[in-house]
Amino acid sequence: MANKVVRIILIVVFFIVFFELGLFGSYTIVTAEAPNIQGLIDMQISKITGFFSPENVNQVLVKDPTPVSISNKKDVALQMESLSKVDGVNYESINVSTYEDPENNEFNVTISALGYASPNSTSGQIVISQVPSYKIIATGVASYKGDGLRVDTNTMAINSVLKLY
């Protein structure tokens, strides 16, 4: 067991040494100067410690989105329908949320809604179902206009169209 631990430690040490020698060699080739070894090591240490700093860890953690209310749901539903190529979008099922500060003049939003496929044909009869067939997720930019918060339909993009079973 001790031999395996020593081997793993030696492999990690050899990897680090090989990486550092490659870094110093490539620095010499690119800049045609001798590398500042202490400066390169300090730069690597500061990047690694910066990656694990509390500020960056807090930015990585997923926060709950803030729900927002928009005034142009029908326009958004029509744009989602045309972009996602579904037969219909239920505008009452539209949920708009953001991870950004909604107090800003413009901010990015995530839009989700339920979509419908064309009616199914069963033994010669058309059966219209109220059960949604798709969940559509889109992004866009929202801003405050005269009549409230509106999503600019020209900035909308479909992220995914999920088939519901």
**pLDDT tens readout for residues 106-162:** 888 899 988 887 665 454 555 555 677 788 889 899 888 877 888 888 888 888 888
* Residue 51 vs residue 16, higher pLDDT: 16
**Which band of pLDDT confidence, cut at 50, 70 and 90, is reported for residue 51?**
confident
Q: Sign of torsion, CA 32 37 39 44?
A: positive
**Which band of pLDDT confidence, cut at 50, 70 and 90, is reported for residue 46?**
confident
Q: Which residues in 110-131 are b (16+ Cβ under 10 Å) and which e?
A: ebbbbbbeeeeeeeeeeeeeee
Q: DSSP class of residue 146? A: T
The mean pLDDT value for 76-100 works out to: 85
Which tokens hold the place of 64? 């709950």
8 A C-beta contact, residue 107 and residue 140: no
Residue 3's identity, in one-letter code, is N
The mean pLDDT value for 36-43 works out to: 85
The mean pLDDT value for 56-81 works out to: 78
51 vs 55: CA distance, rounded Å: 9
Domain edges within the chain: 2-60, 66-163
Q: Is the pTM of this model over 0.75?
A: no
Q: Are strands 95-98 and 106-116 parallel, antiparallel or unpaired?
A: antiparallel
Average pLDDT over all residues of the chain: 82
The pLDDT of residue 14 is 94
